Structure 1
């Protein structure tokens, strides 16, 4: 089995900006993404997603280093001051690297 290293960018943020973020991700070079509902508690308190404005999403993007850097830089500059947002990047090994 041959594996290739890629980056996994994970963004946990407010569901209210989902559509805007999806457009941004595509413009920044993401070839695809996965979105799931997210619940939890952090420095901003508990977000239980039972009410629309309290809903969070988790966006995940598998990509190369340059795209990961572009995504993190752009989202930090454009959204992190005004929206609840946590981002982290992990090293992952993938099969079929041309998809990412």
Structure 2
């Protein structure tokens, strides 16, 4: 059996956890800011604003993840901080990741 060599490339993962009502607006922002793609999932949890869980579509939380260059990630982070942090429950964090097929990111 031949072992395949893999070469991973460093990218940045930006994760945004926020109110679901922001989804369509944030997706437009991400596209304009240069995000190559994203993954969205429902999120529940507890934080400084208490427990967030709901059976209503727009009252819950979502988690948006984008793998991209550090420059794009920092641009996205600055944008969400400037436009959403004051009025919405939201956290945003960056992580260094290694990816295969780096041309996609």
Q: Say which of 56, 64, 68 aligns to 2:61.
A: 56
Greater CA deviation, 71-80 or 52-61? 52-61
Q: Which 5+ residue runs of structure 2 have no aligned equivalent?
A: 1-5
Matched, 1:83 2:99: no
> Within the alignment, does 1:99 sit opposite 2:98 as a pair?
no
CA distance in 1, matches of 2:96, 2:36: 17
> Normalising to structure 1: TM-score of the pair?
0.97
Q: Show structure 1 runs of 4+ deviating over 3 A.
A: none
Alignment coverage as a number of residue pairs: 100
Instruction: Work out whether 1:17 is the aligned partner of 2:49.
Output: no
TM-score by structure 2 length? 0.92
Contact 1:38/1:49, CA 8 A, preserved across alignment: no
- CA–CA distance in structure 1, aligned partners of residues 68 and 19 of structure 2: 22
- Consecutive unaligned residues of structure 1, counting only runs of 5 or more, are none
1:24-75 deviation line (CA, Å, top 9, x unaligned)? 0010000100000000110000011223443000000000011001000011
Name the Cα RMSD after superposition.
0.8
Between structure 1 and structure 2, the one with the greater Rg is 2
CA distance in 2, matches of 1:83, 1:27: 21
